[in-house]
Structure formats: structure tokens, C-alpha cells
Amino acid sequence: MIGMKNYLNAYVDRRMKFVVEEWNLSRGSDIDDFTSRLDAIGQEIPRLKAFGHAASGKLTELENRARRLKERV
């Protein structure tokens, strides 16, 4: 059985990059800066909320204009 264990270990060592990608595993470098990336995303939330509200208002305005145009026809 030791031969099989060594074979499997060597196989995994050779294919580790593909295993990580295929199984969507995180690497140490991905986790190291996780909190800073999370903070950056958190800082974007207010800007994105404001954009969402502005876009919603603009969309409502455009829908009202389209409705009025349809009524004229």
C-alpha cells in the first residue's frame, strides 16, 4: 500500500495547481489580503446605493415619458 500512497502523493504534487483551480480552493495569498479587499468593497457600498437610487429615479422618469408618448399615439 505504501507504493500507492507515494504514487498518489506524487500525482497530487504534480497536479496541485489544477486541483486548486478545479475545486475552487483558496490559497494562502488569497486569504492574506481578504480583510483589506473586504474593506474596499464595504467602502463602495454607499456609492453603489446612491447610483442605484439615481438609476431607479431616472428609469421611473423614462417609463413615465414613454407612457405619455404612448397615450399620444
Three cell numbers at 60? 421611473
Domain residues of the chain, as ranges?
1-32, 33-73
Question: What pTM did the predictor assign?
Answer: 0.48
Rounded-to-integer distance, Cα 31 and Cα 53, Å? 33
Residues in the chain: 73
Distance CA 49, CA 20 (A): 35
**Tens digit of pLDDT at every position of the chain (73 positions):** 668 888 888 888 898 888 888 888 887 877 888 888 899 999 999 999 999 999 999 999 999 999 999 999 8
CA pair distance 40, 42, nearest whole angstrom? 5
Angstrom CA distances, 31 to 15, 28, 38, stand at 21, 5, 11
